[in-house]
Amino acid sequence: MDFGLKPVSLDLNNSIGTTGSRQMTPQGTFAELLIQAQQAGVGKELDSQKLNDEKLLAACRELEAVFLNLLAKEMRKTVPEGGLFGKSRAQEFFTGMLDEALTEEASKSGTAGLADLLFLQLKASQDEEG
């Protein structure tokens, strides 16, 4: 497998402190190959891609939480009101907060799966563009 590594000449200090020159090949030591890869910027693309994927997944999870929250609110509207005391503003406020917390946790756990599907779809379209 060819990783596109080209032989380069590095000046390495040995333990005595004298400087020597050594031809580097793909069969060189791991440390030498790592230095060459770092100089070429190989890891930077992977790190930024991973960071972008994490940001995209976080945004998808937030969108899923918003969607589930709207769904919970609409489902609550279908429940007939009644009871001995009726519905107060405090109770409405509490149930709204409860729905928000529950849907946020559901989104984090991935039980609905909407965020994962949205992430895969957006990732695929992102890969096609560039």
**What is the rounded CA–CA span in Å between residue 93 and residue 114?**
27
Q: What is the pLDDT of residues 102-118, one digit of tens each?
A: 988 888 888 788 889 99
Query: Which residues lie closer than 8 Å to 122 by C-beta, 6 or more apart?
Result: 56, 60
**What is the rounded CA–CA span in Å between residue 41 and residue 48?**
11
Stronger pLDDT, 91 or 12, i.e. the higher one: 91
Which pLDDT score, from 0 to 100, does residue 19 have? 43
pLDDT band at 21 (very low <50, low <70, confident <90, very high): very low
Domain extents for the chain?
Answer: 9-40, 48-129
Angle between helices 42-77 and 114-129 (to 10 degrees): 140
Stretch (H or E) spanning 37: helix 30-40
Prediction pTM value: 0.58
Q: What is the pLDDT of residues 32-73, one digit of tens each?
A: 666 766 666 655 666 778 888 899 999 999 999 999 999 999
**pLDDT score of 74 more than 90:** yes
Which pLDDT score, from 0 to 100, does residue 67 have? 92
